[in-house]
Amino acid sequence: MSVFKNFEILPKFRVTFKDMIKGFVSQLNSKSAPTLYYSSISPPALSALMVAKTLNVEVNLKNVNMLTKDYLTQDLLEVNPQHTIPTLVDGGFSIWDSHAIAGYLVGQYGQDDRLYPKDSKRRAQVDQKLHFDTEHLFPCVHETVFPLLFRGKSDISKFTRKKVERTYLTLEEFLKRSDWLAGNNVTIADLCCCSSISVLDYLIPVREAKPRLFNYIQRCSALPHYQDVIQKGVDQLGNKIQESLISTYI
């Protein structure tokens, strides 16, 4: 009598054995898919998801409602004491800040270093543009979006508009040197910055008077996953802003 026939005599054990195998496979699958705490109206979260999708890294999305303070839940606080999004949990490792997540994903899952070069000079160029996002682009996003979404404002201040236009001019200068922000191929600098730029362009459109930036945005919009990640997020954020503007007049 074969071993498999013995299992027929012990059906209860056979079921238990199958359940054990399923559980083991399930554990392997859960470990192979990092969890991304995410919001579709958060440009940094869109950046992190864009990098993951570009690398073909499957992530379990855990949606955090930024409008109802879901980011203060104990679940998120346990993995990120700063309770910011995006936050990535990969096994027992957690990391937050979209730029840090982008670099980690490339190092951990990338098949090569094209998105985040190992060459020190090329990497420095990428890092420089990531810092530009931190220091200039995202603050502009915050100063345009926050008053409209949370302060009941109905327009963007002249000061903020001028600040955004100056930032556009700087980007126009960057793009005189190369087609993409940190060279002639796409890097995580583009995948991160294009979400901030896309939100700003939605609120304060980039005109053809800045042809390099205008064309850059068109190139970004043609990137794989741009439409289903960044454009979808920008549209949802735009809808939230419209709802907020309407509510101020009711």
Catalytic residues: 42
Q: Can you tell me the distance from the alpha carbon of 144 to that of 156, in angstroms, rounded to the nearest whole number?
A: 6
Neighbouring-strand partners of residue 70:
none
Ordered DSSP codes for 168-180: HHHHHHHTTT-SB
Q: Can you tell me the distance from the alpha carbon of 232 to that of 235, in angstroms, rounded to the nearest whole number?
A: 5
Three-state secondary-structure class, residue 103:
helix
Length of the chain: 250
Chain CA centroid to CA 171, Å: 20
Are residues 168 and 213 in contact, defined by beta-carbon separation less than 8 angstroms?
yes
Q: Can you tell me the distance from the alpha carbon of 84 to that of 183, in angstroms, rounded to the nearest whole number?
A: 30
